[in-house]
Amino acid sequence: MNSNFVDRDLAVLWHPCTQMKDHETLPLILIQRGEGVWIEDVDGKRYIDAISSWWVNLFGHANPRINAAIKAQLDKLEHVILAGFSHEPVITLSERLVQITPEGLSRCFYADNGSSAVEVALKMSFHYWRNLGQYKKTRFISIDNSYHGETLGALSVGNVPLYREIYGPLLLDTIVAPSPDCFDREPGVSWEAHSRQQFAAMETLLVRHAEEVCAVIIEPLVQCAGYMRMYHPAYLSLLRAACDRYGIHLIADEIAVGFGRTGTMFACEQADISPDFMCLSKGLTGGYLPLAVTLMTDEIYRAFYDDYENLTAFLHSHSYTGNPLGCSAALATLDIFAGQPVLENNVTLAKCMHDLTEDLQEHPYVAEVRQHGMILAIEMIKDKKSREPYPWQERRGLKVYRHALGKGVLLRPLGNVIYLMPPYIITPEQIETVVNVAKEGIDLATRD
């Protein structure tokens, strides 16, 4: 590896979500090129990007269609202020998003990253109730083990202790409901039965706090940063109906699960529900450029529409809101979905992921293999019978990470959970390579 670059990097960079001291022993990998499912480092070593570069990439690196769209847009307009001005890519993208998202979502408000899209939904929900004269509504209900981003508002409605705990004193006072996550269900209980049981506690909170709660925020079907824990769509149906009953907004954070990850274009479709707000980012641009959008209903939009002097407007903005290059990448991404049977092909890929990992269910140190569509997670465990987890300090997942890198596969376990969330252009043969490497890594990491 070109150590000169590494030294230069470590002299001036502070990498995200990283204890920088780890890099005294952990190699930093310099990528110079990407193509399809592959990323290539400066020594020419290639890695299969089995985690879509942090869940953003959908159709491969250097996708010819998306590349062409961005290049064409670049020669026309790179960026323009979106207040008072507009541009064709953002208009067309908004029309198409309204078309493909669940019914009732009719407006697009843009931001430039997922956390900001969550902030928009939280602020807008609160502000909606104020515009209606409901001043008591100042709180949010979130789900245990959820993740909605790193800014203080988004972190407030997140509940993964690793990211949240230290900042606790700075955060909003939110109400936390137990997760519908099915990992800890009793033996013999189905996903559906467990997720339904878990709803009872949510119902109690909704009854008790209806007057002071603006919205419930939830990640539909998969708590991605929360160790890829999964649940049954029945929970979402129950939640939608209850939010309507108690006059509370439902915010669906599909930043990670949107655009086909769980098998349907949006995870909400599997519960046949429409949220009041939907947050999208990550796959929105096919993994190319930072862009995020919060969609909402006409009813919410109307509550802000008034004479300026009444001060009901949503005076929120981000500098790069609705960036034309990002919008052109998003449009090209939607063109690929429209022009090819992507979701149909993914059924085959998802089955391939399932079949190749099925035997891991019997592994003495694997608690569970779970899957929703194109997201498959394998949870390692110290004691399968007592369900005692490996202590986090042992960093078993890191052993899998290192092994996989050596074998030319990018996996990035979350604690003891190894997961596959590949770009949709991956082949069954490449899935087989990834799974074999993951299995070797799991054997190594659980050996002692």
Ligand X SMILES: *Cc1c(COP(=O)(O)O)cnc(C)c1O
Contact with ligand X (CB under 6 A) among 181, 253, 276, 368? 253
Find the helix packing angle between 324-339 and 64-74, rounded to 10°.
150
β partners of residue 35: 38
Question: With binding defined as CB under 6 A, does residue 251 bind ligand X?
Answer: no
281 binds ligand X (CB under 6 A): yes
48 binds ligand X, rule: CB under 6 A: no
Query: Does residue number 225 form part of the binding site for ligand X (CB under 6 A)?
Result: yes
| 223 HSE (CA, 13 A, CB side) | 25
By three-state DSSP, how is residue 179 classified? coil
Helix, strand and coil in the chain, % to nearest 5: 45, 15, 40
Beta strands in 114-264 (DSSP E): 139-143, 175-177, 213-218, 222-223, 229-230, 249-253
Binds ligand X by CB under 6 A, chosen from 129, 147, 199, 259: 147
The reply on whether position 113 binds ligand X by CB under 6 A is yes
- Residue of minimal CB distance from ligand X? 114
| List 36, 60, 89, 114, residue binding ligand X (CB under 6 A) | 114
Q: How far is CA 307 from CA 98, 316, 317, 412, in A?
A: 26, 17, 20, 51
User: What is the Cα–Cα distance from 215 to 364, expressed in whole angstroms?
Assistant: 42
Q: Is 108 helix (H, G, I), strand (E, B) or coil?
A: strand
> Applying CB under 6 A, what is the total number of residues that bind ligand X?
14
Does 224 interact with ligand X (rule: CB under 6 A)?
yes
Binding piece for ligand X, criterion CB under 6 A, among 25-33, 101-109, 141-149, 348-356: 141-149
260 is a site residue for ligand X (CB under 6 A): no
Nearer to ligand X, 114 or 423 (CB): 114
Q: If binding is defined by CB under 6 A, does position 222 make contact with ligand X? A: no
Choose the binding region for ligand X from 177-185, 204-212, 251-259, 406-414 (rule: CB under 6 A): 251-259
The residue count of the chain comes to 448
Q: Is 219 in the site for ligand X (CB under 6 A)?
A: yes
Element (H, E) at 327: helix 324-339
Enter the tokens of residue 251: 């915010």
Q: Which stretch binds ligand X (CB under 6 A): 77-85, 143-151, 265-273, 374-382?
A: 143-151
Among 89, 149, 220, 415, binds ligand X (CB under 6 A): 149
Cβ nearer to ligand X, comparing 271 with 445: 271
When binding is defined by CB under 6 A, the residue of 87, 127, 137, 148 that contacts ligand X is: 148
Of 58-66, 109-117, 303-311, 411-419, the segment contacting ligand X by CB under 6 A is 109-117
Is 247 buried (19+), middle (13-18) or exposed (0-12) by CB count in 10 A?
middle
Closer to ligand X by CB, 147 or 337: give it: 147
CB of 118 to ligand X, least distance (A): 6
- Nearest to residue 267, comparing CAs of 237, 302, 301? 237
Residues that bind ligand X (CB under 6 A): 113-115, 118, 147-149, 219, 224-225, 253, 255-256, 281
